[in-house]
Amino acid sequence: MKKIVLIGSGGSGKSTLARKLGEKLKINVYHLDALFWKPNWISVPKDEQIKVQNDLVKTEGWIIDGNYGGTMDIRLNAADTIIFLDTPRTICVYRAFKRLLKYRNKTRPDI
């Protein structure tokens, strides 16, 4: 397990699992939200998203957290491990709401 993709709904635990796996396996973790959103919620253009991911997947080891369906094939084709978090919707909503309150007027560490 050197090239890991984590996918799942918002609030499913992708970022938390990515961080913990990164610490345990000593692998760099990349949160797509942190890479693809500029201040004031301005999105990075898709061609830049493609370039960033193509460069990332060429490196020796990584954990990439995020969905971004339009570029998912880049990550899935390069991964040796794919983890899909199939967390119940009620738990995802609860966690997303909890996260909203926790980081109100703050920047989340994974964004």
Averaged pLDDT of the chain: 91
Residue 108 has pLDDT above 80, yes or no: no
Average pLDDT over residues 86-107: 85
> What class is the 3-102 domain?
alpha beta
C-alpha torsion angle, residues 66, 69, 71, 77 (rounded to 10): 80
Q: What percent of the chain has pLDDT over 90?
A: 74
How crowded is the C-beta side of 106, counted as CA atoms within 13 Å? Answer: 9
Q: 67-81 pLDDT, tens per residue?
A: 999 999 999 999 999
DSSP 88-110: -HHHHHHHHHHHHHHTTTS--TT
> Three-state SS for 11?
coil
Q: 32-66 pLDDT, tens per residue?
A: 998 998 888 899 999 999 999 999 999 999 999 99
Q: Where are the domains of the chain?
A: 3-102
